[in-house]
C-alpha cells in the first residue's frame, strides 16, 4: 500500500495554473490583511508611523525576538502537517487539538521513569505521546467508517474528553503538592530535549518538525498511500470504484496524522517545560487548521505558513508592549487571511480564463497533426 515512487513527472499545464493561482490567492490575502492591520493601527495608535514600523520589523530588531519566532513555530509544524494529511483525505477531523494535548499528557508518566538512558528516554516519551494522539484521531475515523458518524462532530467532542481526562489524572494522581501550583512532578533530566540557545527555547524538536514536514510531503506526493488519500479527498466515490480501499485508507491516514500531532505534543512538553503545566487545550491544533488552509493541504508549504503565523503573532506581541495597540489586531489578520484563502471563487474567473487559454493552446498542435 505504501510504495514510494520518485520518478519525475511533467505536470499538466492546468495543474500548474491552479498551483500558481493558489499561491497568488494566498499572497493577495496576506497583503489585504496587512493593509487592514495598518488601517487599524492608524485608527487607534498615538504614533502610527512608528507603530507600523514596529509591527513590520519588530521581530527582527532583536535577536531574542527573532529566536522566539522559531520557538513559537515548533509545535505548529506538527499540527500543520497532521491537519494537511487529514484534510487532503477529505475528512474534516478536528481532533488534532485533543491529540496534541493527549500526547503531552501520556508522555508525562513515561518521563518520570528512572534509569532510562538519556538518548532513549525522550524517544520512548515521544512514541507514547504519538500512540495516544493516534488513538484520539483514530476514534472519530473508525466511528465514521464503521457507523457513519459525522467526523466533525465526534472529533470536536473528543477534544474535551481528552482534555478533562488528562487534567483529572494530572490533578489527582500525578500532581506535585510541593510545586505551589497545579502541575505534575518534575520530569527526569534524561527525558528533556536539549535546547540550542539560551535566547529562546529552541530545542531539537525544530529538527524533528522539519523532518516531519519532509516525510509528510514524501508520503502525500511520492507514495501509493498518498495518491490514494488525495484521490479520496477529490472524489471518494471515484476512488471507491477504482478499487481503492477507502475505509482502510481513511483510518490509516487519521491514525498517522494523530500520531504526528500526539508526538508534537510530547515534544513540546519535553522541550518547553520541566513538568506538565497545561491547564487547558493549547490551541495548537486549531492553529494547525489555519496552517493547513494557508498551505493548501500541502506539507511543503507548512513551514512558510507556520513562520507567517509566528511572525504576525510576534509582531503583535512586540507592538502591544511598546504602544497602545492591542494584540487583538493579529486575530483580525488571521481571520482575513483565512477568509480570502479559503474562498474558492476568489480570482476564479481569471483562473478559469487562463485554463481555457492553456487548453486551447495545447489543442492547436493536435489539430494541426
d(CA 118, CA 219) in angstroms, rounded, equals 30
Gap between the Cα atoms of 158 and 293, Å rounded: 22
Residue whose C-alpha cell reads 490583511 in the numeric block: 33
Give tens-digit pLDDT for 17-31.
777 777 787 788 778
Residue 132 and residue 197 in contact, taking contact as beta carbons nearer than 8 Å: no
The answer to whether 126 and 107 are in contact (CB under 8 A) is yes
Residues of the chain with pLDDT under 50: 6-8, 366-367, 369
For residue range 126-141, list pLDDT tens digits in order. 999 999 999 999 999 9
Q: What is the pTM of this model?
A: 0.89
Q: What domains sit in the chain, N to C, each tagged with a CATH number?
A: 59-322 (1.10.3470.10)
Do residues 17 and 354 touch, judged by C-beta distance below 8 A?
A: yes
- Give the pLDDT score at 12: 61
Q: If we measure between CA atoms, which residue out of 319, 338, 334 comes closest to residue 55?
A: 319
Cα–Cα distances in angstroms (integers) from residue 8 to residues 5, 11, 221, 222, in the given order:
9, 9, 11, 10
What pLDDT does residue 167 have?
A: 94
d(CA 338, CA 194): 35
Amino acid at each position: 500500500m505504501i510504495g514510494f515512487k520518485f520518478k519525475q513527472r511533467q505536470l499538466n499545464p492546468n495543474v500548474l495554473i491552479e498551483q500558481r493561482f493558489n499561491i497568488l490567492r494566498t499572497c493577495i490575502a496576506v497583503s489585504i490583511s496587512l493593509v487592514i492591520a495598518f488601517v487599524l493601527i492608524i485608527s487607534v495608535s498615538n504614533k502610527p508611523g512608528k507603530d507600523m514600523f514596529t509591527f513590520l520589523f519588530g521581530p527582527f530588531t532583536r535577536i531574542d525576538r527573532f529566536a522566539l519566532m522559531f520557538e513559537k513555530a515548533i509545535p505548529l509544524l506538527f499540527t500543520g502537517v497532521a491537519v494537511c494529511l487529514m484534510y487532503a483525505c477529505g475528512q474534516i477531523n478536528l481532533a488534532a487539538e485533543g491529540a496534541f494535548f493527549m500526547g503531552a499528557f501520556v508522555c508525562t508518566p513515561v518521563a518520570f521513569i528512572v534509569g532510562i538512558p538519556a538518548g532513549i528516554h525522550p524517544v520512548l516519551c515521544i512514541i507514547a505521546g504519538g500512540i495516544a494522539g493516534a488513538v484520539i484521531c483514530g476514534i472519530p475515523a473508525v466511528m465514521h467508517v464503521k457507523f457513519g458518524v459525522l467526523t466533525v462532530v465526534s472529533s470536536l467532542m473528543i477534544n474535551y474528553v481528552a482534555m478533562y481526562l488528562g487534567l483529572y489524572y494530572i490533578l489527582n494522581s500525578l500532581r506535585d503538592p510541593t510545586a505551589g501550583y497545579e502541575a505534575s512532578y518534575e520530569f527526569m533530566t534524561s527525558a528533556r530535549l536539549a535546547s540550542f540557545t539560551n535566547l529562546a527555547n529552541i530545542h531539537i524538536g525544530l529538527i524533528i518538525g522539519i523532518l516531519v514536514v519532509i516525510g509528510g510531503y514524501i508520503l502525500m506526493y511520492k507514495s501509493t498511500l498518498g495518491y490514494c488519500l488525495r484521490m479520496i479527498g477529490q472524489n471518494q466515490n471515484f476512488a471507491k470504484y477504482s478499487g481503492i480501499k477507502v475505509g482502510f485508507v481513511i483510518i490509516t491516514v487519521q491514525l498517522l496524522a494523530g500520531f504526528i500531532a500526539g508526538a508534537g505534543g510530547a515534544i513540546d512538553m519535553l522541550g518547553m517545560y520541566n513538568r506538565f503545566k497545561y491547564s487547558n487545550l493549547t490551541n495548537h491544533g486549531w492553529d494547525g487548521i489555519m496552517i493547513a488552509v494557508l498551505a493548501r493541504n500541502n506539507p511543503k508549504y507548512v513551514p512558510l505558513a507556520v513562520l507567517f503565523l509566528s511572525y504576525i503573532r510576534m509582531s503583535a506581541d512586540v507592538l502591544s508592549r511598546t504602544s497602545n495597540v492591542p494584540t487583538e489586531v493579529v486575530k483580525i489578520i488571521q481571520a482575513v487571511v483565512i477568509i480570502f484563502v479559503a474562498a474558492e471563487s476568489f480570482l476564479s474567473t481569471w483562473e478559469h480564463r487562463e485554463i481555457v487559454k492553456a487548453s486551447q493552446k495545447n489543442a492547436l498542435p493536435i489539430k494541426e497533426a
